[in-house]
């Protein structure tokens, strides 16, 4: 990947696009950024671009890609938009930001950038995808590796672009300072990032689950699953793939694309429901057995009661992270210690406060039906559920049974509120709220001591908020001000 002096056009100036622009400019590329948003809308991002980067904002004008030697696409930009489709028809090379980061890391491995030979610094690449649980699993895996004494490059879809992380390392690590270079890469990758690949090949990959999501971008669940399959498409028999044996769509993908194929990666399973070759739950403990261990017998990693992050979905996340950590040569002790220590992430079943005997839980990251299903099942208390936002072509009827069993009242906000009410309004008391503040107030009025008010929207946030983090932070601010508002 000789980039110095090459014309590179980046499509989309979000976090990934900005990271790619900064990295490529630092490597001597002639960088142009284009985005359909205006310069005013992107003023903060533009302000932080290197001075050498040119930008063309407010759309993708004709001919924008004609001089490009390479086109790098941010994850939020569909590959089938007309300007990209035309560029592809002209034979232009198009890759995603993930592929760019991967190839630069591979170049570092094979050349060492003059610092260290590849055989002395292999930099294993560990990648996690799935509809739900990616951020928690990736963060927990990174915790395990750091606990084992590894230096990690940690990023991806979790919020800090891999290209940005590489750029920072390159700036600090010029010369002979090897201590700043990682000896493992831990990446959360989305289906969007897995679309524009060439050689992306993680040493250890995981698919946590595949449930309906982003069907406003994909035509079918099969197409969505095929995007997820990008994580293992280039893997070799020396690589490993970690799969959820309890998830039907993941296992269908395994049967269709992996099982029985020659040249496939080694497959390791995890399961809450059955003993598998890998990691499973049995008698209140997380167990591991060969092929992850040299011995044939199974070994207890930790009691489930000692795992700090709670919820049935987090048991799956913990198993997936543990399997990947074992494959990366982490010790069982470091893994067990990490499971006891790791506190979880903001906006994922996060307890905001207990007010008037009611727990308020921020699960703003519950952006699809599958995530909300698992969140609901994590509680034994009666729920007041706050949901709604921008629909991603979700099938909300899948919530009918658990909502009828566990939810006392449903409070709806956002663009999808009418669609959700049509799907669920006949099985539970339903209240329409004008905004999040009104929703929290409605929930407070209905909640009784011992209840849980759960924000788990089953939708994207972009109709009313900047992103899911903004939605979660506003929810927490509203909840923390309840006492002042009603003293």
Token pair 């959700």 in the structure block, residue: 420
pLDDT of residue 290: 73
The residue from 341, 371, 397 where one domain ends is 341
Q: Are residue 423 and residue 463 in the same domain, yes or no?
A: yes
The range of the structural domain enclosing residue 256 comes to: 98-341
- Sheet with 383-387, side-by-side order of all strands: 350-355, 358-362, 452-455, 383-387, 407-412, 429-432
pLDDT of residue 107: 79
Q: How far apart are the first and last CA of the chain?
A: 63
pTM: 0.83
pLDDT of residue 199: 95
Q: Are residue 248 and residue 395 in the same domain, yes or no?
A: no
- Report the distance separating Cα 302 and Cα 310, nearest Å: 14
pLDDT of residue 183: 85
Q: Are 45 and 161 in contact (CB under 8 A)?
A: no
Strand segments, DSSP code E, in 230-348 are 240-244, 266-271, 278-282, 285-288, 299-303
Tokens encoding 424: 């669920």
- Report the distance separating Cα 86 and Cα 285, nearest Å: 55
Distances (CA, A) of 450 to 351, 355, 374, 404: 14, 10, 20, 18
pLDDT of residue 263: 84
Domain count, the chain: 3
Q: Are residue 72 and residue 162 in the same domain, yes or no?
A: no
pLDDT of residue 216: 78
pLDDT of residue 348: 85
The residue from 341, 359, 387 where one domain ends is 341
Q: Are 119 and 150 in contact (CB under 8 A)?
A: no
The residue from 44, 65, 92 where one domain ends is 92
Residue 407: half-sphere exposure toward Cβ, Cα within 13 Å: 31
Q: Are residue 46 and residue 195 in the same domain, yes or no?
A: no
For residue 486, being part of any structural domain is answered with no
Which residues of the chain have a pLDDT value below 70?
Answer: 1, 108-122, 170-180, 294-296, 484-487
pLDDT of residue 48: 87
- Report the distance separating Cα 407 and Cα 469, nearest Å: 24
Looking at the DSSP bridge assignments, the partners of residue 432 are: 412
Token pair 């010369």 in the structure block, residue: 175
């Amino acid at each position: 990947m000789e980039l110095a002096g090459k014309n590179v056009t980046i499509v989309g100036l979000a976090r990934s696009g900005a990271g790619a622009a900064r990295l490529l400019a630092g490597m001597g590329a002639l960088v142009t950024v284009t985005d359909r948003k205006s310069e005013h809308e992107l003023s903060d991002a533009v302000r932080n671009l290197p001075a050498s980067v040119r930008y063309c904002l407010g759309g993708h004008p004709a001919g924008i890609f004609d001089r490009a030697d390479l086109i790098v696409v941010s994850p939020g930009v569909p590959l089938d938009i007309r300007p990209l489709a035309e560029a592809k028809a002209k034979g232009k090379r198009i890759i995603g930001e993930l592929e760019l980061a991967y190839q630069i890391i591979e170049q570092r491995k094979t050349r060492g950038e003059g610092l260290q030979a590849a055989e002395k610094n292999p930099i294993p690449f560990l990648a996690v995808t799935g509809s739900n649980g990616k951020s928690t699993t990736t963060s927990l895996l990174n915790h395990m590796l750091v606990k084992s004494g590894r230096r990690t490059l940690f990023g991806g879809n979790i919020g800090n672009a891999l290209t940005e992380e590489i750029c920072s390392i390159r700036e600090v690590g010029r010369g002979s300072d090897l201590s700043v270079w990682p000896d493992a890469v831990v990446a959360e990758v989305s289906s969007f990032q897995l679309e524009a690949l060439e050689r992306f090949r993680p040493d250890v990959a995981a698919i946590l689950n595949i449930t309906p999501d982003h069907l406003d971008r994909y035509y079918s669940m099969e197409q969505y699953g095929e995007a997820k399959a990008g994580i293992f498409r280039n893997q070799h028999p020396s690589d490993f793939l970690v799969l959820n044996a309890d998830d039907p769509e993941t296992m269908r993908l395994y049967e269709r694309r992996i099982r029985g194929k020659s040249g496939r990666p080694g497959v390791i399973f995890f399961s809450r429901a059955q003993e598998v070759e890998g990691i499973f739950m049995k008698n209140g403990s997380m167990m591991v057995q060969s092929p992850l261990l040299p011995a044939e017998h199974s070994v207890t990693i930790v009691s489930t009661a000692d795992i700090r992050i709670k919820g049935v979905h987090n048991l799956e996340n913990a198993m997936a992270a543990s399997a990947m950590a074992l494959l990366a040569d982490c010790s069982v002790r470091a893994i067990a210690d990490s499971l006891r220590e790791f506190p979880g992430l903001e906006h994922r079943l996060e307890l905001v406060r207990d007010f008037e005997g009611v727990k308020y839980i921020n699960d703003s990251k519950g952006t699809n039906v599958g995530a909300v299903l698992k969140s609901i099942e994590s509680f034994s208390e009666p729920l007041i559920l706050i949901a709604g936002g921008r629909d991603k072509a979700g099938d909300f009827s899948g919530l009918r049974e658990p909502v009828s069993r566990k939810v006392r009242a449903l409070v709806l906000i956002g663009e999808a509120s009418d669609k959700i009410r049509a799907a669920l309004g006949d099985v539970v008391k339903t209240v329409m709220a004008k905004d999040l503040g009104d929703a929290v107030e409605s929930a407070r009025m209905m909640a009784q001591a011992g209840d849980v008010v759960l924000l788990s929207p089953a939708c994207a946030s972009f109709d009313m908020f900047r992103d899911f983090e903004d939605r979660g932070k506003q929810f927490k601010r509203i909840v923390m001000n309840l006492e002042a508002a009603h003293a």
